[in-house]
Amino acid sequence: MISEKLQEAFNEQINKELYSEYLYLAMKVYFQEQNLQGFVNWFDVQVQEEHAHAMGMFDYLNERGGKIDLRAIEKPVVEGNTPLEIFEHVLRHEEYVTSRINHLMDVAEEVRDRAAMHLLDWYLKEQVEEESNVGGVLATLRLIGEDKHALLMLDRELAARTFVAPVIG
């Protein structure tokens, strides 16, 4: 049985993961309006990943006999009016998610729940990958500046990204 304190922390994080899914869905809409289909694809994959992350925690909490407490998801606010500004927002958001998963790990350590720590180790590694992925796109956007041809080349590159369902844990 999972401790009430850790159960509460997992429920908070499930909400954060679902918010991330919702935020990236809103960002996808921005790129649809710009007719940048590669960016749309990138965010579509991101939406699927965030959903999988939330459901991984949902399933884990359920498996441990915890009580699922689904909460209202905040309306997402997309910060930025250019692809560069949007991806700067994405990086800030991923850094925030990393901090929240670190907090969740702190709670798991505090209550000495090694099973949860094992699961959360996967999530921390995933966050390193997420931040690196976003950082790569951001670096390219900074490099290309206002070059529309280069932006379209990046858009074509992002169209190749595919969702691979994660094996969590």
Give mean pLDDT, residues 46-53: 98
Residue 97 lies inside a defined structural domain of this protein: yes
User: Per residue in 4-45, pLDDT tens?
Assistant: 999 999 999 999 999 999 999 999 999 999 999 999 999 999
User: Per residue in 125-169, pLDDT tens?
Assistant: 999 999 999 999 999 999 999 999 999 999 999 999 999 999 998
Three-class secondary structure of residue 116 per DSSP? helix
Domain range for 32 is 4-70+81-158
Residue 165 lies inside a defined structural domain of this protein: no
CB under 8 Å to 25, separation ≥6 — which residues?
Answer: 43, 47, 76
48 touches 42 (CB < 8 A): no
Residue 163 lies inside a defined structural domain of this protein: no
> Quick one: which of 166, 87, 76, 162 has its CA closest to 131?
87
Residue 166 lies inside a defined structural domain of this protein: no
Task: Indicate whether 103 pLDDT > 90.
Answer: yes
Residue 105 lies inside a defined structural domain of this protein: yes
User: Per residue in 59-101, pLDDT tens?
Assistant: 999 999 999 999 999 999 999 999 999 999 999 999 999 999 9
How far apart are the C-alpha atoms of 70 and 37, rounded to whole Å? 32
- Residue 99 is part of a domain; what is its CATH number? 1.20.1260.10
Kindly report the pTM of this predicted structure: 0.96
Number of structural domains found in the chain:
1
Residue 87 lies inside a defined structural domain of this protein: yes
